[in-house]
Chains A and B, each alone.
Chain A
Amino acid sequence: DAGVTQSPTHLIKTRGQQVTLRCSPKSGHDTVSWYQQALGQGPQFIFQYYEEEERQRGNFPDRFSGHQFPNYSSELNVNALLLGDSALYLCASSWGALAGVQETQYFGPGTRLLVL
């Protein structure tokens, strides 16, 4: 059973460019959350997708957007990259996002983004 997978593993971009990161959830999971982890910090919640809709959003600007596909996989898009966007981007999957259903979240290995 494959766990959460993310691609690419590493990425180097320059300021002003756009980037797309991809995530495939663990088998049987229908909810995908994205987190940004700066060096030496804990992960920060970006947003969560369930039933192809953004269900909740953290304190991130509109430059950060996402999408969920019918097969539950997800993309994170970041426009107009800034140096401060350099971080490890983590995807987490779980089952059920309604009515406070809270299950263990499983994290992927992350995509390390460096913005020069």
Chain B
Amino acid sequence: KQEVTQIPAALSVPEGENLVLNCSFTDSAIYNLQWFRQDPGKGLTSLLLIQSSQREQTSGRLNASLDKSSGRSTLYIAASQPGDSATYLCAVGTGTASKLTFGTGTRLQVTL
């Protein structure tokens, strides 16, 4: 059974700081890994999708890496802003039916 863990559970940083969110998964037989953002009481917004054959993906100030063999992914956020405050969820895609298995998220607060 695939299990996804995210560390830390919560993080508070001052504006402008670079930060790293961690995600680990137990079964390396994944199709892809996706990072999402969730604002309080809202749905999920896809940030980055890394296919299993890729090592990293970049979008603006965000960079996600994937090490499938070790079961790890990191989300790097450069020059953090108060608008980045949200919960960040990592999810791995497995099976032929695009099933996503999620971690419990990292709640990020960026302070002024």
Say if the beta carbon of A94 comes within 8 Å of chain B. yes
Q: Mark B33-53, 1 if CB is under 8 A from A, else 0.
A: 010100001111110010100
Nearest residue (CB) in A for B89 is A42
Nearest residue (CB) in A for B95 is A56
**Whole-angstrom distance from the CB of B95 to the nearest CB of chain A?**
6
A105 touches B34 (CB 8 A): yes
Task: Name A107's contact: one of B32, B45, B49, B96 (CB within 8 Å).
Answer: B45
Task: Name A100's contact: one of B31, B100, B102, B103 (CB within 8 Å).
Answer: B31
Interface residues on chain B, number (Cβ under 8 Å): 27
Residues in A neighbouring B102, C-beta threshold 8 A: 35, 42-44
Q: Which residues of B from 39 to 94 have beta carbons under 8 Å from A?
A: 41-46, 49, 51, 89, 91, 93
Q: Which residues of A from 74 to 116 have beta carbons under 8 Å from B?
A: 88, 90, 92, 94, 97-110, 112
Residues in B neighbouring A58, C-beta threshold 8 A: 99
**Whole-angstrom distance from the CB of A2 to the nearest CB of chain B?**
14
A33 touches B99 (CB 8 A): yes
- Main secondary structure on B side of the interface with A: strand
B44 touches A107 (CB 8 A): yes
B97 touches A42 (CB 8 A): no
A104 touches B34 (CB 8 A): yes
Question: Given the interface contacts A42-B89, A48-B98, does A104 sit within 8 Å of B104 by beta carbon?
Answer: no
Say if the beta carbon of B28 comes within 8 Å of chain A. no
B97 touches A97 (CB 8 A): yes
A40 touches B97 (CB 8 A): no
Nearest residue (CB) in B for A96 is B98
Question: Given the interface contacts A40-B104, A104-B34, does A109 sit within 8 Å of B96 by beta carbon?
Answer: no
Nearest residue (CB) in B for A59 is B1
**Whole-angstrom distance from the CB of B55 to the nearest CB of chain A?**
17
B97 touches A48 (CB 8 A): yes
Residues in B neighbouring A106, C-beta threshold 8 A: 46
Can you add 7 more A-B contacts, CB < 8 Å, to A45-B100, A92-B100, A105-B98? A33-B98, A40-B104, A42-B103, A43-B102, A104-B49, A105-B46, A109-B43
